[in-house]
Amino acid sequence: MVPMRLVFGLAVALFLGSQSTALQAQPADLILHGGTVLTMDDKHPSAGAVAVRDGKITALGSLEALSSQKGPATRLVDLAGKTLLPGFIDSHGHLIDVGLQRSVANLLPPPDGQVHNIAALREQLLAWAATDAAKRIGGGRIILGFGYDDAQLAERRHPTRHDLDLVSGDKPVVIIHQ
């Protein structure tokens, strides 16, 4: 006698298998090709194309291998030699801060920067205000700095409005603590 759990498990597996086959028979919404698709799978680290349906990857391989996934409404996107990475979901990250830090006045203390006191902080802000980056960010109408640490400033305090007014009396000065 076959245990009922086994019969039920086989029935579910057969049902899901038939559903999976039915889904595979549907064409992809999108096929990205013409570049390197990084899979993050050590056994198959890259592919030439990826097929997507309903927001989910359905197949990886060469464009030729994915031709069976193409339907009349499938959108083909040529990556033009660029690399495609999977999306990253990070519940707590500081990646945007890296871009910000590279774009505004560097107010970090040594050894990563030169700001060891409030006078050096003002110097960095004034130097940045004269750069092309300052013209690109906010059209030169704002002075931005990132990375100061009051605990590492000689004065052991946050800069005040009076300290920052010496940088500019007519443009807002925004500094972000590290």
Same structural domain for residues 115 and 160?
Answer: yes
Same structural domain for residues 143 and 112?
Answer: yes
Tokens of 75: 């959108």
Q: Is residue 89 part of a domain?
A: no
For residue 53, the enclosing domain spans 4-84
Q: What pLDDT is recorded for position 24?
A: 54
**Residue 90 three-state SS:** coil
- CA–CA dist 171, 106 (Å, integer): 18
- Count: domains in the chain: 2
Q: Is residue 90 part of a domain?
A: no
Q: Average pLDDT in the 61-66 region? A: 94
Select from 56, 84, 112 the last residue of a domain: 84
Q: Is the pLDDT of residue 101 over 90?
A: no
pLDDT, one tens digit per residue, over 3-20 is 444 333 333 333 344 333
Q: Bigger pLDDT: 122 or 24?
A: 122
Same structural domain for residues 72 and 146?
Answer: no
138-to-36, 56, 82 alpha-carbon distances in Å: 36, 38, 30
Q: pTM value?
A: 0.51
Same structural domain for residues 120 and 72?
Answer: no
Q: Is residue 54 part of a domain?
A: yes
Backbone torsions φ then ψ of 34, nearest 5 degrees = 80, 20
Same structural domain for residues 80 and 102?
Answer: no
Tell me which DSSP letter residue 167 carries. T
Q: Bigger pLDDT: 39 or 122?
A: 122
Q: Is residue 49 part of a domain?
A: yes
Q: What pLDDT is recorded for position 9?
A: 37
Tokens of 64: 């030729």
Question: What is the pLDDT of the chain when averaged over all its residues?
Answer: 85
Q: Peptide bond preceding 111: is omega within 30 degrees of 0, i.e. cis? A: yes
Q: Average pLDDT in the 101-120 region? A: 94
Same structural domain for residues 105 and 38?
Answer: no
pLDDT, one tens digit per residue, over 133-150 is 999 888 889 999 999 999
Q: Is the pLDDT of residue 175 over 90?
A: yes
Q: Average pLDDT in the 84-102 region? A: 78
Same structural domain for residues 78 and 140?
Answer: no
Q: What pLDDT is recorded for position 91?
A: 73
Same structural domain for residues 78 and 105?
Answer: no
